[in-house]
């Protein structure tokens, strides 16, 4: 049974657990020894409201392990909360030891993630429309595909065969985008297809979102957010110099279910005034685009297998009209990190390789694949007419 210390609450220590200005003002007033009645009158609130706000901040502090009146003084790191505390007292009632158990605080982790994204966006304003590109071939669309890039992963060459960290991955990504742009015809439409798992982890803790598997991570999530926004924005700018129009898909992956959301929202926001940029923004992990008579479909591969995708795109109400207008269909997927092509059900389904190296888990499992990324050019009527595979450099 817990023991209560009769000492007065130190309101000054609770200021760091306030998350908005009103909480901070009220706790500061309590720290100045204002009575509850005086604080209520000062802010035009009821006494009950002051008690409620004070209790909310105290409870938030307690979840982090700060409740000195209960001998809880060992706080958990930001983004975690205390799951349980076992305290040990001697015969005189003095605290002699304490065991603190912590778990991830998902609510606080979400708050930190949003703050990181908001802080990053302060440095970005919507760009002015870019100059029009002349002499492009309106019949062509060049699909630049990146999948399973796992930005934020850490790999050690001695263990996995290649090094991988945020500095290496930034260089590999931008070089690959430049190489694919250079290798493709001067199509009117350039399509940036990010097929999911661009980020290695999806929150403050480096674990997979669904299963909670611990991942090898190179950096903090806030830094990962900033870097992702920086290089993806740069990729769109690079493509605008070559193509008359740029279409962007940021597909949901199993490693970055929420990261894919804020990434596509970011691209949509910063290029909102540029009519040459189109972001496919739907809350559905399947995406489709019609280029003349050619249907292009996209899915990371974590929900449906390759053989199931033609049926899904043909029957899904959102895509049925596009399917009916097309004479050929090409569906692109990733997830498995290696190449494979299946033609069935009225569509060519292609599974793309990754530019990323293996992590320790894949290495231990003996899984290998040739690293690369593909740019595929489609004629609006004839279908695929050109492709190039680039390798990481």
Of the ranges 86-90, 119-123, 210-214, which one carries the lowest mean pLDDT score?
Answer: 119-123
Percent of the chain with pLDDT over 90: 61
Burial of 316 (0-12, 13-18, 19+ CB in 10 A): middle
H or E segment to which residue 365 belongs: helix 360-365
**DSSP track, 31-77:** HTT--HHHHHHHHT--HHHHHHHHHHHHHHHHHTT-BGGGTB--PPP
Q: How many CA atoms within 13 Å lie on the side-chain side of 338?
A: 6
Mean pLDDT of the chain: 88
The confidence band for 274, taking pLDDT boundaries of 50, 70 and 90, is: very high
Is the pLDDT score of 200 beyond 80? yes
Rg (CA), the chain: 26
Is the pLDDT score of 236 beyond 90? yes
pLDDT of 258: 87
Is the pLDDT score of 20 beyond 90? no
pLDDT of 104: 54
H or E segment to which residue 170 belongs: helix 166-183
Q: How many CA atoms within 13 Å lie on the side-chain side of 208?
A: 11
Of the ranges 141-150, 218-227, 303-312, which one carries the lowest mean pLDDT score?
Answer: 218-227
- Give per-residue burial for 357-385: e unless 16+ CB within 10 Å, then b: bbbeebbeeeeeeebbbbbbbbbbeebee
The confidence band for 7, taking pLDDT boundaries of 50, 70 and 90, is: very low
Tokens for 261? 């959301």
332 close to 193: Cβ distance less than 8 angstroms: yes
pLDDT of 176: 98
Domains and CATH numbers, the chain: 11-73 (no CATH), 123-390 (3.60.21.10)
What are 61-93's pLDDT values in tens digits? 887 778 777 666 655 555 556 566 676 677 777
What is this structure's pTM? 0.73
What are 314-349's pLDDT values in tens digits? 999 999 999 999 999 999 999 999 999 999 999 999
Return the percent helix, strand and coil in the chain, to nearest 5. Answer: 35, 25, 40
pLDDT of 122: 62
Alpha-carbon distance of 78 to 106, in angstroms, equals 11
What are 124-164's pLDDT values in tens digits? 677 788 899 999 999 999 999 999 999 999 999 999 999 99
pLDDT of 6: 36
Is the pLDDT score of 313 beyond 70? yes
pLDDT of 324: 96
What's the average model confidence in pLDDT over 274-296?
A: 96
What's the average model confidence in pLDDT over 293-317?
A: 97
Higher pLDDT, 203 or 182: 182
pLDDT of 377: 98
Q: Could you write out the three-class secondary structure of 259-313?
A: HHHHHHHHHHHHCCCCCCEEECCCCCCCEEEEECCEEEEECCCCCCCHHHHHHHH
Tokens for 102? 């912590």
Percent of the chain with pLDDT over 70: 85
């Amino acid at each position: 049974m817990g023991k209560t210390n009769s000492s007065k609450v130190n309101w000054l220590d609770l200021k760091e657990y306030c998350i908005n200005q009103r909480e901070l003002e009220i706790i500061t007033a309590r720290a100045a020894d204002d009575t509850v009645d005086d604080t209520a009158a000062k802010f035009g609130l009821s006494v009950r409201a002051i008690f409620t706000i004070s209790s909310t901040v105290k409870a938030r502090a307690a979840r982090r392990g700060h409740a000195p009146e209960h001998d809880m003084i060992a706080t958990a790191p930001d983004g975690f909360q205390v799951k349980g505390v076992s305290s040990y007292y001697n015969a005189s009632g003095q605290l002699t030891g304490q065991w603190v158990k912590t778990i991830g605080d998902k609510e606080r982790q979400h708050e930190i993630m949003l703050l990181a994204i908001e802080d990053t966006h302060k440095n970005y304003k919507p760009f002015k429309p870019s100059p029009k590109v002349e002499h492009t071939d309106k019949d062509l669309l060049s699909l630049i595909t990146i999948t399973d890039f796992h930005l934020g992963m850490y790999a050690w060459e001695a263990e996995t065969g290649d090094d991988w960290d945020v500095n290496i991955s930034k260089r590999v990504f931008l070089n690959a985008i430049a190489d694919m742009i250079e290798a493709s015809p001067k199509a009117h439409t350039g399509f940036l297809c990010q097929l999911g798992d661009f980020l290695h982890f999806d929150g403050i803790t480096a674990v997979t979102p669904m299963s909670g598997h611990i991942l090898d991570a190179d950096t903090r999530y806030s830094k990962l957010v900033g870097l992702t926004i920086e290089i993806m924005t740069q990729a769109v700018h690079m493509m605008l110099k070559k193509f008359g129009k740029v279409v962007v898909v940021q597909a949901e992956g199993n490693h970055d279910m929420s990261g894919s959301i804020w990434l596509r929202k970011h691209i949509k926001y910063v290029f909102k005034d540029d009519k040459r940029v189109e972001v496919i923004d739907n809350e559905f992990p399947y995406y489709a685009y019609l280029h003349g008579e050619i249907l292009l479909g996209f899915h990371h591969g974590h929900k449906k297998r390759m053989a199931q995708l033609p049926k899904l795109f043909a029957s899904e109400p959102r895509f049925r009209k596009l399917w009916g207008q097309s004479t050929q269909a090409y569906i692109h997927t990733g997830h498995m990190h290696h190449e494979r092509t299946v033609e069935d059900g009225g569509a060519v389904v292609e599974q793309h390789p990754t530019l990323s190296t293996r992590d320790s888990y894949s290495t231990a499992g003996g899984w290998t694949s040739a690293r690369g990324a593909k740019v595929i050019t489609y004629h609006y009527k004839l279908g695929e007419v050109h492709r190039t595979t680039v390798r990481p450099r």
